Amino acid sequence: MTTSPPEAPPTPEVVAALKRYRVGAWVVGVGLLVLVLIGMPLKYLAGDGTVVAIVGPVHGFLYMGYLLLTADLAYRDRWPVGRAVLVALAGTIPFVSFVAERRITRPLRDAA
């Protein structure tokens, strides 16, 4: 029976990228929730598109940053391309960015 060698702890660069990614994932997730749970009902039920007009572009800008943070973490931790794409897409579905953040960062948090 063979056993795989234990994984090395993440490098300081990976840990720093992980922290940046976690903050970005939460910011994008909260922005998307505000847009979907507050802005969209106000726009379509109350006829007031102010929140969507403000939060929509801000969320789009923040999502671009989230993509960069995801790419940075994926590069530093040497993720497969498919994993990086799935994590990047997680920022487009409400609540999923929170789930992805926990799932993706768990092995790194445990090792750190």
Q: What is the mean pLDDT of residues 61-71?
A: 94
| Residue 62 near residue 28 (C-beta atoms within 8 A) | yes
Predicted pLDDT at 3 = 64
Distance of CA 18 to the CA centre of its chain: 10
| Residue 14 near residue 77 (C-beta atoms within 8 A) | yes
Q: What is d(CA 12, CA 2) in angstroms, rounded to the nearest whole number?
A: 30
Q: Residue ranges per domain, the chain?
A: 12-111
What are the tens digits of pLDDT across the range 7-63?
667 788 988 999 999 899 889 888 888 999 999 999 999 999 999 999 999 999 999
Predicted pLDDT at 60 = 92
- What is the pTM for the complete model shown? 0.81
Structure tokens that stand for 87 in this block: 């994590």
